[in-house]
């Protein structure tokens, strides 16, 4: 008999390759191809013969791969930021490290002079571009139409040399060289001009913050660009010529001190070592910085940050956007790996559990001359077939869940990106890798059977294999319990942040942007006008709305040396700010119209400032504080307020300097009653469009605005919880399959025990005991891991929950309950079986 023609099947019957394989073009082929054909057919037959185990294996791998592919697509997106720029490897951003006395801080901004100086004097720098953000909101007027506009920057014309911008209209050599020229995106051109030709059109831009924009400045459209893709840390709708910034402000052009508001990017010459360039910065700064500042310990250092590091590795202050961090990306990569491991362990466990059923097939194959290498190749090939089938199902799951996928992640997954040749090759490699790794141990185990013993039905003692399966289950549940614990901690942390008090009443408060700067001069009449509506309980003006941000500066409290200045957040509010938001006054008094000097000489500070300066609330009242920008003016502390979160809950409460400076007001906060909201909103819109000459009614509800700041973090948290549930589900599928196998293997034992009087509960307990033991052992390994991971994650939150013993107990009991529920069905089903059926052929 030719061993290359006949192959044993799992049931011991012989399969004739010549008769069983399709004849068209196959018979003349190499015998190796015939063997591969047979391996594939055998894999399909095994799939059909053991449907439950096959479904568990394929479903587990498919769901695991779908989750892994989803995560890897997101990871790929996160790492793709800013890499679409043609010169991305050569683009760097200037980072400023400020130091003044004991203060030091790294910022993403720099001042006006370094960029042009580096481009002019250093051959390592090909081009430099400065981007100066236009803060707040602006209005854009064209003919009779007005639009609210954000995301605007002043920019040097070299922006077209440094970055890869697709200029659809205009000349890149001159588009932003003259003052009051503007380049807009294609979307904005359609929004403002419709089908009209945008080049040469004149638009009016107004902004309450920037002096060159507060008089409805006329700008000429000199260019139209494509909008940057979403995987860019820099996003804009309009670029204003940087020369506009110097109109009436020429002395700022070459200043090395002050105006640290620019994001400066350098395009380095090819083959430039940016670390070597950084070594030249100190000498350049020393040449240009005022010696008087250096004598008192004031100054700054400059560093370079690679463009492609900004999105994931930047933790600088005053950054252009709230960058993502690498930690969540690494965490989700870990989850993807864990899910695949759990699915792979299922495959290994169920394959080794079924190995006894294939002993006779292996014995026949070896008797016919098949060597161990060929058997190993066959079994691993079957594993790869399972894995490829799982991949196809995984892609189907991915396609079905694509709408949900897009809604959860803050970016759009394009079909061609998901199924590009490179991505598909990656999917295939992933399936191949999973199939080979998951199938390796079962393949080596089964190929090691001795033919004579296997033909007699004896293939070796099962204790070692059973112990190995137990170790794999322990490993599975170690991962699962770790994820359960992390999920519980994650949920509790988000609930804690959701319910944590801000220190002010954020409910029923409308935040309204102020574009018309003339409103600042008539705040009292505006308040009186708005309060005429009986549903409005309070109106207050401020420079920043609470829970958002604040300007930062250095201040010298009374008793501190000039070189010992302290950093503080600073905001400007009117006298109604404290009562409207129900902020508690700890000591002293609030601003008052009865004190004529409050606008220029009085300030409030918070408890954090009192504590940092070594004062008490009572002794703080009457102290003076001097600001770095205006050292000749001392302002007196007239009151101390209880700590409240001027920034969001992801930041600590820093010392806060509160002044009453109407010229700094940019927003209005309106307290309203919850009844008749639509009527109140109609009144406010109607009246505000009369009050603000720009006709802009740009508003948001304060509580919703604060919640939006945590939306992305919450999405990631919910995603983490979802993937954890999937990982546990896959682990339970494997446990279910093992429970079913254990019941089948011990079928005769169960029959004898029942014949001897064992009850259903006795049998169920016997079958469940080993699984319970494995889960309890897994807890011992999982708890230290869970503690380490969660403590590291919670360390990013200044306000966080305490991890109590009850969380460990809850996670362990939950894992145990899930395991028992999973195996109980098979255990009870086996225990209720008729012992006669099990013992009939004994």
Would you call 605 helix, strand, or coil by DSSP? strand
Cβ burial 90-116 (10 Å sphere, 16+ → b, else e): bbbbbbbebebbebeebbbbbbbbbbb
pLDDT at 52: 74
pLDDT at 24: 46
CA–CA separation, 260 and 230 (whole Å)? 27
351, 369, 381, 435 from 443: Cα distances, Å: 9, 18, 9, 11
Please count the other Cβ atoms lying within 10 Å of the Cβ belonging to residue 13.
11
Tokens of 80: 């793709």
List the chain residues with pLDDT less than 50: 1-12, 14-27, 459, 461, 463, 841
Element at 626 (helix H, strand E):
strand 624-627
pTM of the model: 0.85
**Ramachandran angles phi, psi of 405, nearest 5°:** -55, -50
pLDDT at 190: 95
pLDDT at 738: 80
CA–CA separation, 368 and 5 (whole Å)? 10
User: By the 8 A CB rule, do 307 and 82 touch?
Assistant: yes
User: By the 8 A CB rule, do 58 and 383 touch?
Assistant: no
Would you give the DSSP letter of residue 641?
E
State CA 543 to chain mean position distance: 30
Instruction: Tell me the Cα Rg of the chain.
Output: 35
pLDDT at 5: 47
pLDDT at 95: 96
Taking alpha carbons only, the member of 665, 659, 663 closest to residue 555 is 659
- Please identify which residue in the block is written with the tokens 């099990």: 838
Annotate 148-198 with DSSP letters as a single string: EE--EEEE-TTHHHHS---EEEE-TTTTTSSTTEEEEEHHHHHHHHTTS--
Which tens digits make up the pLDDT trace of 677-732?
899 999 999 999 889 887 788 899 999 888 877 777 788 888 888 889 999 999 88
CA–CA separation, 230 and 411 (whole Å)? 7
Annotate 52-115 with DSSP letters as a single string: HHHHHHHHHHHHHHHHHHHHHHHHHHHHTTTTTSTTGGGEEEEEEEEEETTEEEEES-B-SSHH
Would you list the domain boundaries of the chain?
88-277+301-313, 517-691
Non-local (6+) Cβ contacts of 510 within 8 A are: 669, 670, 672, 684, 699, 700, 701, 702
pLDDT at 795: 87
CA–CA separation, 298 and 290 (whole Å)? 10
């Amino acid at each position: 008999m030719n061993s290359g023609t006949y192959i044993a099947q799992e049931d011991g019957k012989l399969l004739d390759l010549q008769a069983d394989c399709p004849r068209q073009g196959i018979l003349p082929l190499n015998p190796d191809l015939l063997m591969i054909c047979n391996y594939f057919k055998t894999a399909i037959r095994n799939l059909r013969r053991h449907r439950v185990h096959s479904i568990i294996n394929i479903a587990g791998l498919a769901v695991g791969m779908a989750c892994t592919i989803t995560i890897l697509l997101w990871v790929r997106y996160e790492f793709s930021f800013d890499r679409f720029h043609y010169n991305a490897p050569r683009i760097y951003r200037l980072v400023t490290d400020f130091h003044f006395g004991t203060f030091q801080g790294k910022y993403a901004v720099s001042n006006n002079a370094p960029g042009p100086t580096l481009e002019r004097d250093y051959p390592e720098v090909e081009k430099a571009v400065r981007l100066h953000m236009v803060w707040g909101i602006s209005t854009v007027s064209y003919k009779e139409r007005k639009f609210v506009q954000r995301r605007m920057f002043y920019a040097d014309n070299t922006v077209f040399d440094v970055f890869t911008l697709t200029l659809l209209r205009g000349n890149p050599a001159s588009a932003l060289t003259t003052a009051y020229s503007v380049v807009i995106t294609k979307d904005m051109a359609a929004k403002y001009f419709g089908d009209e030709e945008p080049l040469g059109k004149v638009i009016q831009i107004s902004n309450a913050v920037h002096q060159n924009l507060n008089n409805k400045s006329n700008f000429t459209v000199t260019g139209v660009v494509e909008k940057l893709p979403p995987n860019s840390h820099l996003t804009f709708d309009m670029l204003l010529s940087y020369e506009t910034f110097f109109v009436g402000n020429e002395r700022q052009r070459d200043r090395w001190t002050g105006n640290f508001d620019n994001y400066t990017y350098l395009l380095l010459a090819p083959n430039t070592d940016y670390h070597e360039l950084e070594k030249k910065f100190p000498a350049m700064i020393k040449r240009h910085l005022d010696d008087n500042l250096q004598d008192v310990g004031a100054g700054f250092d400059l560093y370079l940050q690679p463009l492609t590091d900004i999105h994931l590795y930047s933790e600088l202050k005053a950054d252009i956007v709230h960058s993502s961090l690498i930690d969540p990306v690494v965490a989700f990569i870990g989850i993807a790996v864990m899910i695949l491991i759990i699915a792979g362990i299922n495959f290994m466990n169920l394959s080794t559990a079924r190995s006894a059923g294939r002993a006779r097939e292996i014995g026949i194959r070896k008797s016919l001359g098949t060597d161990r290498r060929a058997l190993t190749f066959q079994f691993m090939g079957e594993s790869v077939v399972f894995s490829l089938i799982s991949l196809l199902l995984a892609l189907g799951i991915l396609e079905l869940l694509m709408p949900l996928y897009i809604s959860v992640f803050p970016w759009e997954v394009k079909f061609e990106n998901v199924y590009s040749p490179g991505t598909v090759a990656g999917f295939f490699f992933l399936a191949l890798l999973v199939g080979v790794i998951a199938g390796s141990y079962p393949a080596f185990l089964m190929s090691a059977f001795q033919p004579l013993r296997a033909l007699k039905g004896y293939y070796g003692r099962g204790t070692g294999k059973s112990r190995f399966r137990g170790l794999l289950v322990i490993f599975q549940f170690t991962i699962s319990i770790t994820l359960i614990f992390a999920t519980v901690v994650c949920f509790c942390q988000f609930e804690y942040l959701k319910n944590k008090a801000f220190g002010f009443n954020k409910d029923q408060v409308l935040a309204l942007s102020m574009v018309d700067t003339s409103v600042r001069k008539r705040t009292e009449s505006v308040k009186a006008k708005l309060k005429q509506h009986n549903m409005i309980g309070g109106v207050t003006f401020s420079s920043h709305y609470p829970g958002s941000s604040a300007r930062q500066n250095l201040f010298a409290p009374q008793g501190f040396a000039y070189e010992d200045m302290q950093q503080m957040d600073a905001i400007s509010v009117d006298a109604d700010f404290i009562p409207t938001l129900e902020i508690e006054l700890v000591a002293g008094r609030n601003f008052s119209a009865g004190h004529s000097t409050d606008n220029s000489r009085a300030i409030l500070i918070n408890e954090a400032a009192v504590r940092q300066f070594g004062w008490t609330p009572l002794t703080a009242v009457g102290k003076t504080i001097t600001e770095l920008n205006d050292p000749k003016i001392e302002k007196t502390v007239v009151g101390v307020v209880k700590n409240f979160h001027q920034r969001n809950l992801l930041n600590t409460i820093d010392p806060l300097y509160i002044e009453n400076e109407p010229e700094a007001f940019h927003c209005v906060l309106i307290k309203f009653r919850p009844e008749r909201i639509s009527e109140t909103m109609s009144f406010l819109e109607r009246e505000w469009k009369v009050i603000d000459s720009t006709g802009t009614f740009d508003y948001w509800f304060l509580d919703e605005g604060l919640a939006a700041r945590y939306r992305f973090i919450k999405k990631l948290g919910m995603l983490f919880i979802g993937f954890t549930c999937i990982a546990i589900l896959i682990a339970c599928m494997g446990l279910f399959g093992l429970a079913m196998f254990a019941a089948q293997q011990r079928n005769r034992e169960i029959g004898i025990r029942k014949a001897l009087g064992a009850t259903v509960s006795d049998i169920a307990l016997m079958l469940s005991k080993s699984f319970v033991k494995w889960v309890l052992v897994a807890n011992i390994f999982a708890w230290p891991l869970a503690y380490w991971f969660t403590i590291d994650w919670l360390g990013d939150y200044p306000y966080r929950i305490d991890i109590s013993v009850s969380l460990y107990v809850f996670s362990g009991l939950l894992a145990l309950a899930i395991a028992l529920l999973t195996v109980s069905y098979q255990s009870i089903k086996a225990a209720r079986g008729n012992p006669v059926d099990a013992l009939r052929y004994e």
